[in-house]
């Protein structure tokens, strides 16, 4: 699809808007519908659009596969760290009130941090699934070409 000028121009316009919308969903998710899961899927959709237009190799130069694995684990660890911090400070798992002085500030900090961890994890898992399936498809196509040659 990289040879199609219209797709490249539209994608160049849409991908930043998709990412901006993902940020909006991420940081306004506690007040309105949305949050980490939805934002992660939107971010991954922007990256997948980039991969479809410019190719998987170009997309992996933007976010390498190793970075996906690291970010996936980091998102889960952030979620768990917030939960365990509440326990260690005398509350329950994912109890935000012991984290900061003031209930409102603690609640805001806890929700935003947990939702960010969820968003990073979901985005990288969806991107990784796409990468693994896209590679598998290209391997099948390469194997079919080899089978067709005498």
Pick the closest to residue 116 from 41, 40, 48 (CA basis).
40
The yes-or-no verdict on residue 147 having pLDDT over 80 is no
Q: What is the mean pLDDT of residues 65-82?
A: 95
State residue 10 phi and psi, 5-degree precision.
-65, -40
Give yes or no for residue 1 having a pLDDT over 90.
no
| pLDDT tens per residue across span 37-59 | 999 999 999 999 999 999 999 99
Q: How many domains, the chain?
A: 1
Q: Exposed (0-12), middle (13-18) or buried (19+): which is 21, by Cβ within 10 Å?
A: middle
123 is in which domain, residue-wise? 5-148
Average pLDDT over residues 115-134: 95
């Amino acid at each position: 699809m990289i040879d199609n000028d219209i797709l490249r121009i539209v994608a160049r316009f849409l991908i930043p808007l998709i990412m901006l919308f993902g940020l909006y969903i991420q940081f306004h998710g506690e007040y309105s519908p949305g949050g980490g899961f939805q934002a992660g899927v939107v971010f991954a959709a922007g990256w997948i659009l980039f991969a479809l237009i410019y190719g998987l190799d170009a997309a992996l130069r933007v976010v390498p596969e190793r970075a996906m694995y690291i970010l996936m684990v980091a998102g889960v660890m952030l979620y768990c760290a917030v939960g365990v911090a509440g326990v260690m400070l005398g509350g329950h798992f994912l109890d935000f009130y012991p984290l900061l002085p003031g209930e409102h500030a603690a609640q805001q900090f806890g929700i935003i941090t947990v939702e960010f961890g969820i968003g990073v994890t979901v985005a990288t898992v969806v991107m990784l699934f796409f990468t693994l399936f896209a590679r598998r498809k290209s391997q099948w196509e390469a194997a079919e070409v080899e089978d067709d040659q005498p």
